[in-house]
A and B are shown apart, each in its own frame.
Chain A
C-alpha cells in the first residue's frame, strides 16, 4: 500500500517536471563562472634564491615547494639514480636532527615533508596548516642546507633501494616505460628513469654530498609558497632569516646533450608468465615552449585522453582488446615524448598493436572533425581547471613554469591557446610527432606466447626482464 502512495506522488511530480525539462536532450548549461587564479608575486634574495608567493585563501593550508633545476638529467653518467637517492636521503638526518627527531617534529605539527628528484629537478615539498608555516619552513631550510647523509641511514637506504629495484622490475608497466625511455633517448640523460643494478653501490656520502653541494645552492633555488600566507613583509622576513646566509656558488657549465633523432625500433621485453602484452608506442615530440605544443596537447586528447578518446572507444569499447588504452604526453624540459599505452590480451596482441598503429597514423592522415576538436578542447580545459582545485595543483604548475622557463602568463593564457588550435595544425603536428613510421614499439610480455604473432609487424629485438637474484 505504501508503495502505491509513493508512486502516485511521483507520477504527479513528473507531470510538473515534464513541463520544465526535456529528458531526451542534455540540458543547456548556464555560462561558466569565471575563475581567477591567485596572483603570484616573485622576488629574489641577495644570494640569488627566487621566492614565489601565491596568496590562496581557500583553505587554511600552505603548500611549500623548494625546487632546484637539474634533477636526474644531471646524474653522473656512471651513477644513474644518484639525484633521486640524494633527495630521499635529505630527510634522513641533519646536523641537528636525527631521522626520528625530524619525523616526530613533522608529525607533531601536522605537516608533510619529503624530497624527490624528477627528470629535470630536485624538489623538497611539503604542506602544513597555515599557523604552523614558520615551523615547516625551518625544517625545509634544515634539510636543504644541513642534511648529513648519516652512514647507517645510507647503508639501509641502499639495501632497500636494491629491493625496490627488484620490485619495480616485477611490474610490467615499469618495464615498458623504462625500456621505452632507454630506446628512445639512447645516450641522452632522459634515457634512465632510475638507478641501474650496479649504480646503487656507487651511492656514497661523497657522491651524494657532491651532487647536493653542486645543485642545492640558493642561486639555483626557487621557494614557492601557495596558501593562506601571513603579510608579505612577515613572510619575507622569516625566509630571509632561514635562507639569507646560504652561500651562493657558481653552477657548472651545462650543455644539453643532443636528443637522438626518432627512428623505428621494435623491442620485446620477455616477462615469462605475463598474461597480457603491455604496449608502449611512441617517440620524441614537441616541448612546452615549442609552437607545436598546444596542437600536440589537443591531438593527444583526441587520440587518447579519457574515455571519449579514439583509443579508448575503439581498443576497449569496440574491440574489447584491453581494459585501458590512452596516450601519455610527457613534456620534459629538453625533450618531450608522446606515446600510446595499452595492455592487450595475448591472443590478439599483434592485432592490438596494428590497431594502435593505425590510430597513430590516422591522426596525420586526415583532419579531426570539428566535433572531436570541440570536445577535446573542452576536456583539456576542464582538466586544467580541475588540476588547479587543490593547492598542490597550483604549486606544481608553478614548479613546471619555473623549471621549464615558461612565460609568466602561461597559466592565464592556457585555455585561450587550447581554444585557438585548428584541425590543420593538429594534422601537421601529428604527421611530425604521432605517425608511427619513426616510433619505438615496446612490448612487455611472455615471449613464448608473443614472439611468433609479433613477427607480422617486423623484427623485434628480444630482451630479458631482470629476475630476482640476478642483482
Chain B
C-alpha cells in the first residue's frame, strides 16, 4: 500500500468501515510511514474536536417537549387502532406480517394463508369437476342422445377478459380502470366461466384443466404487470408532492407485497399444478395495484 491509497482510506479506517484485511493493510503501512501517521493523528484530532463540539452543543429536550408530545398522542387513537383509507386496508392485509417479525414466522403466516386460499380454491375446483362428472354421468345414462334433446347447456356468463392497458397513453386513469380488480375471486370465476363455456367439450384430463388455469393466471399477471408499469410512472411523476412518511410506508408495503409475489412465484414453480399458488399470486398483484392506485390518485 502506498501513501496515497492509505490516506484515501484513512477516514473510512477510522470510522471502522473497512474490512479486516483492508484495516490490517492500513495498520501495516502506518507502522512504517511517519507522514501517514501524522495524517492519521490529525484526523483523530479532528474527530475529537467534532465529538467535543457535539457534546457541548447537543440539545437536551426540555421536559415541556415530552408533555407536548404526550398531549398530542393522547389526543390521537392508539397506534394499534385501525386507520382510515388504504393504510387501514393494507394493515389488514399485512396484519400477520406486522405481528410476526421473524422470517420464519412470516413463512408460516404465508403458508397458513396459502392453505386457506388453497382450501377455498380446491373446494371450488372439485365442485366444478364434480358438476362436470355428474353431467357426463347423466349423459352416459342416456343410451341414444337425440340431437334435438341434447343436455341443456348451462347458461354460461363468460367473464370478459380485462382490457389490456394501452401502453404509451399519457392518461393513467383509463388504464387503471381496466385493471382486473377483484383479483383472485374474479379470476377464479373467469376460470369457472371458461369451463362452463364448453361443458360438452371432451376434457382430455387434469393436465388440460391445469394448463387452462395456468394460462388464465399468466394472462391476468401480464395485465397486472402492465398496470403496475403505468402506475409506477404516475407515482414517479408526483412523488415529490407526496408526504415522505406516506412514501416511506408505501415503499415498505410494496416491498412486502413484492416478497409475497416472489414467494407465490416460487411456489408456482415448485408446484405448477397447484391452483392455490396462482390464486395467491393474483391476490398479491391485485393488492399491489390497489395500493398503487391509492397513492397515484391521492
- A pairs with B: no
